Structure 1
Amino acid sequence: MSERVVADGERRRRRPTKGGTVLSEGLIVETALRLIGEHGAAALTVRRLGTALGADPSALYRYFQDTDDLLLAVADELIGRTLRAWRPSGEWRADLRSLGLRIHADYQAHPQAAMLTFTRVTGRVHEMRSVETILGILREAGFPDAEAVRIYHVFVDQTLSFAALDAAVLTLPEESRALEERTWRDRYARLPADTHPHVAATAPTLVAEMGRSAYPAALDMMLAAAAARLRHVRP
């Protein structure tokens, strides 16, 4: 899509397309998310989206100004899916842990989209709700405002960084992923103790650990540090 601004009052189409589809912002975002999963960034063209929707490509401009506008909507939809599935318990540490794991899992379910959206600030309804929710958890736990904002920043950046890192692994060709797994098992696990004593001593644990995401452990470490900080700053 090129840079093209469409007046707000014109950004809806209620008549069916030639294929009988009634376009909506939600349908376009859902279709874009599916196509990104199949084709990566190459999916974000008006021609490909129009074909998938059975619509004239120009009709998409009634809903999105350009492909970047659509990409922000996709990013916000991923956040919305997390929030719709997540259930708070009322205990701040458990809530942040479950929310972080939920975000990470949802990005792993859409690794191609994760790679395209994890750096973006959408400024849209679901993202705003997530910022409000996380800051609310921290402030209600007793963190002063400056601490709440700092921990929010660390929490979100850590979660999205691991989500993108693990999504990148999932987007590798199958043979490349298998090669990495074999490298830990066949190369590192067989290093001799006289040249690599620490690797040799920890080899079974190392091979098992490097085959899974480090995010749950990193999240627990961050939350433990936040809890220690709370004991220090809370009156």
Structure 2
Amino acid sequence: MSERVVPPAERRRRRPTKQGVVLSEELIVRTALRLIEEHGADALSVRRLGRALGADPSSLYRYFRHTDDLMLAVADELIGRTLRSWRPTGDWAADLRDLGMRMHAGALAHPRAAVLGAHRVTGRTHEIQAVESILRVLREAGFPDPEAVRIYHAFVDQALAFGALDSAGTSLPRAARDAETEVWRTTYGRLPADTHPHIAATARHLAATMRRSSYPAALELLLEAARTRLDHLRAETGG
């Protein structure tokens, strides 16, 4: 898509497309998300989207100014899907743990879109809701504002980074993934103790652990560090 602006009042199409559906922003985003998972970034073209929707490609400009605008909407949709199933309980660490794992699972459910959107700032409804919700959890837990923002930043970037990392791994052919996993046993597991004593000592643990995502462990380390920081702050203030 190129830069074209259609006034908001004129955006919604009232007549059905060739396939009998009425276009909407939600329908276009859902279709784009499906096509991204099937075809990657190349799916975000006016021609391909128009064909999938049974619509004139130019009609998409009624909803999105260009493909980057659509990509931001897709990234925001992934955030929204995570938030819809998340219910804070009031236990700040448990709530962040639950949200982080849901974010990671959401990325793995849509790996190609997750890789494309992990580094983007959408400024859209769901992202704003996520920022507000996470900061509320942290501030109500007692973190001062600078600490709340610092932990928010680390928490979100960690979840997005691991989501993109693990999603990229799932995109590899199964044979390639299996071969890489086997390297920990066949290569690292056979290194001699006299030249690589630390690898040799931990080889069986490496073979068992490296085949899985380290996100759960990394998330726990982050939450433990945040809890320690909160305890320290309370001790300083007598709270």
* TM-score, with length taken from structure 2: 0.96
Which residue does 1:24 correspond to in 2? 24
Moved more, 180-189 or 108-117: 180-189
Q: What SS is found at the alignment partner of 2:97?
A: helix
Moved more, 191-200 or 94-103: 191-200
CA-atom RMSD in angstroms: 0.9
Deviation string, structure 1 residues 89-144 (Cα, Å, up to 9, x no partner): 21000000110010011001111001110011111110000000000000000011
- Counterpart amino acid of 2:165? L
Cα distance in 2 for partners of 1:206, 1:179 equals: 15
Q: Which segment drifts farther, 127-136 or 185-194?
A: 185-194
Q: Which residue number in structure 2 is paired with residue 137 of structure 1?
A: 137
Three-state SS of the structure 2 residue aligned to 1:3 is: coil
Matching residue's letter, 1:83: L
Query: Structure 1 stretch 201-210 or stretch 136-145: which is displaced more?
Result: 201-210
Q: What is the 5 A alignment of 1:103-122? A: 103-122=103-122
Amino acid at match of 1:159: A
Count how many residue pairs are aligned between Structure 1 and Structure 2: 235
In 1, Cα distance between equivalents of 2:135 and 2:56: 43
Question: What is the aligned partner in structure 2 of residue 52 from structure 1?
Answer: 52
Segment of structure 1 superposing worse, 62-71 or 190-199: 190-199
The alpha carbon displacement at 1:7 in A equals: 1.0
Report % sequence identity.
69
Alignment partners' CA distance in 2, 1:5 and 1:189: 59
Deviation at 1:190, TM superposition (A): 1.6
Of the structure 1 ranges 3-12 and 46-55, higher mean CA displacement relative to structure 2 is found in 3-12
The amino acid of 1:29's aligned partner reads: V
Task: Indicate the larger mover: 173-182 or 77-86.
Answer: 173-182
- Unaligned runs of 5+ residues in structure 1 are none
Tell me the secondary structure at the aligned position of residue 6 of structure 1: coil
Match of 1:64 in 2: 64
Distance in 2 separating the partners of 1:93 and 1:10: 46
The aligned residue for residue 160 of structure 1 is: 160
Summarize the alignment of residues 69-84 of structure 1 with structure 2, pairs less than 5 Å apart: 69-84=69-84
Q: Spell out the pairing of 1:1-235 with structure 2 (5 A cutoff).
A: 1-234=1-234, 235=239
- Give how far 1:200 is off: 1.5
TM normalised by structure 1 equals 0.97
